[in-house]
Structures are given as C-alpha cells and as structure tokens.
Amino acid sequence: MDRKPVHAVEKIEKTVKPTTYAKAGVDIRRENQTIKGIVNWAEKTFKFREGKVGQPLSGIGTFANMIDLGDNRALVVCSDGVGSKVVVAQELEKYDTVGIDVVAMNVNDAICVGAEPITMVDYLAMEESNPELASEIAKGMYEGAKQAGIAIVGGETACLPDMIKGLKNRGFDLAAAVVGIVDKDKIITGEKIVPGDKVIGFESNGIHSNGLTLARKVLPVTMWTKLLEPTRIYVPEVLQLKKEFEVKGMANITGGGMANPLRITKYGYHLDNLPEPQMIFKKIQELGKISDEEMYTTFNMGTGFTMVVSEKDALSMKKKYGQEYRLDIIGTVIQKHHTKITRGEKTIILEEQ
C-alpha cells in the first residue's frame, strides 16, 4: 500500500514566501525517512496472514497493495487524504469539491496496479459538528463515486475539538480507503517495462491535491479558487485502455511530482513532450520565485497520470483516444534511473524521492 503522511492544518501567517516545499513545511525526504520506520513494523505483520486468504502479494511502497483472495483473485487496498486542501476549502467556505478529491486520490492509486476500484470508506474528523459542511463534503464524495463507479459503504465521523483546529471553528480533516479487485495474472507491476517504451501522459485538472502547503503560502487568497479545482479521476479511461492495450506500468502523479513514475521501474524516463503547465503553476512559480526542479518535484505541472506502453500501442492509443481522453505521448523509457525533462533549451533532472 502506498503509505503517505497526513499533514496537519497549518496556521496561515504572513511570512516571507517559501521557495521550496521543504521551506513551506513539507520535507518529502525527511517524511520518507519517517515512513520507513512505520513500514518496517507494518511489513512484519505480513507473517500473520502467510499461507492464508489475505496474504499480501507485494511489499509496501507500491501505489496500492494486493491481498491474495485465493484462486486467481486479489483484493487491492489503498488509503489517502486531501491534505491541506482543507484549509483552502475553509477559507473560501466551499466544501463540495474536496469530496471529489478524496475519492480521486484513492481510486487513482488503485488503478495503478491494474485494479478496478469497487468501494470506499471515509474518515471525516471535525472541530465541531457542522451538518451543512458535512453535507457539502458528502455531495462531493457522491460525485467522485459516480465518476469512479464505486460504492461508498461506510466510514467514520468524529468530533475532535482538542485536536482539529481551523478557521472559525470549521476545521476538519478528510481521508478515505478504497478497495479494488484484480485478477492476479493481470496485476500491473512495471516489471515488463523496457527502454524504448513510450510514456503516455493524461492531462490534469490543475493542482489536484498535492503541493497545497507551498501553493497557499505563495499565492494570494484572491487566487485560491483555482486551488479547489477537483482532482481528475482517471478510472473510466484507464479501465477502457487496459481492455485494448498491454499496459506495462502506471503512476499517479501525486507527491514527488514527475519523479513519482520512477517508483514503478528500475529504468528512467526522458520526457520531451510535456504539456504546457496550466496558469496556476506559472503563477506559483512566478510569485514564489521557485526553480523548475522544485516545481516538477512538487506539482504535477499539467500531467496528472502516466502510463507506459509499447511504441506501437502508444501511437494507436493517441490516434484513437488522444482528444477524448486528453492524453498524449510525453516521452520515452530510458536506461538511466532518473527523470530527464526537456523543455525548449532547458534540461531538468529529477531523482527518485
């Protein structure tokens, strides 16, 4: 399972604008070290299901983990939240899109291993009971579930005034867990990827639910509306493409930005046909005086999901679905394990986080 830390809501202060995600308060490298300690103990629990239904089929670190159900079926499980996007929702008093985000962040992870997401449970922690706020969030989760084709079968709502703090007592945190299903012989691990394969990039809806801690501290509140654009859900497109083409690997572009696809292969990528980033990213970079390297390791920069296929399949995929699915061939798999980005005369090298 892809384990990610849940960031606390930070107090909004007028300070010098940070130029990196770490200076904004989120040090990905340090968090990865923290996660290793948790993973070490979590993986020790695998032995409790060894030889039984429910035995894990991979180590922790993939976008989602697979659980053996016997025969040829596997259950896929993953969990994620919307992070400090909740601060933006509170400031703008608009809550109907973060529900879409919590669905998207989870189902987009589940499909990375070839699964069809089928159900979700949510966790909503609030500073104080607020039926109107909760109803708006739930409305968004319904829309997300509709787009992903999943059922929301339960969850937990908690009032934690001593722990959850927010603007005007509207503080909340939102997370969820999604379950999917896949045939064991159709699990996608990235092991079939070879140099020369092509990288398909799917257009994002903007910032999605990553990098908000930096974006909020750089952008004026008058520009925050764009930060609430909901994360695009890629489930219908991916499920259809899997039926028609041999998909070798997939990556959800979340924390780590365009270095994130390095998680699925020992090889690397040369991305020389990335889309023009949306205006929100240009404004963040301009106002924050942020380097290209930092932008591409913190944000999706216009590409929210990637897929690796053969060159032949890539050309067919682009011809048939390019416009409808908002996808394009953005690069090639290379031997060296890094992401090389070429934009005009600029070359950016990203290492795995």
Element containing residue 141 per DSSP (H, E): helix 131-148
Tell me the pLDDT band of 28, cut-offs 50, 70 and 90.
low
pTM of the predicted model as reported, rounded to 2 decimal places = 0.91
For 141, the token pair is 């989760």
Among 144, 161, 186, the domain boundary falls at: 186
Per-residue pLDDT tens for 266-316?
A: 999 999 999 999 999 999 999 999 999 999 999 999 999 999 999 999 999
Q: Does 300 fall in a domain? A: yes
Chosen domain end from 143, 164, 186: 186
Q: Are residues 180 and 212 in the same domain?
A: no
Same-domain check for residues 130 and 250:
no
73 & 126 share domain: yes
Q: Are 95 and 230 members of one domain?
A: no
Per-residue model confidence as pLDDT tens digits over 313-347: 999 999 999 999 999 999 999 999 999 999 989 99
What is the tally of structural domains in the chain?
Answer: 2
Mean pLDDT confidence for 163-167: 93
Residue at a domain's end among 125, 152, 186: 186
Range of the domain at 44: 21-186
Q: Does 203 lie in the same domain as 182?
A: no
Q: Does 73 map to a domain?
A: yes
Q: Is 259 a member of any domain?
A: yes
Both 203 and 239 in one domain: the answer is: yes
Judged against a pLDDT cut of 70, whether residue 63 lies above it is answered with: yes
Q: Domain for residue 1, yes or no?
A: no
Residue 215 amino acid letter: A
In a domain, 5, yes or no: no
Mean pLDDT of 86-96: 96
pLDDT of residue 272: 97
**Residue (of 88, 91, 122, 89) closest to 105 by Cα position:** 122
Q: In CATH, what number is assigned to the domain containing residue 44?
A: 3.30.1330.10
- Count of H helices and E strands in the chain? 10, 12
Do 346 and 312 fall into the same domain? yes
Q: Is residue 148 part of a domain?
A: yes
Regarding whether 254 and 165 lie in a shared domain, the answer is no
Q: Kindly state whether residue 92 falls inside one of the protein's structural domains.
A: yes
6 vs 117: which has the higher pLDDT: 117
Shared domain check, 171 and 222: no
Whole-angstrom distance, CA of residue 337 vs CA of residue 323: 31
pLDDT value for 61: 85
Is 130 found in the same domain as 109? yes
Nearest to 299 by CA among 231, 247, 249: 231
**Same domain membership, residue 236 and residue 167:** no
Mean pLDDT of 81-104: 97
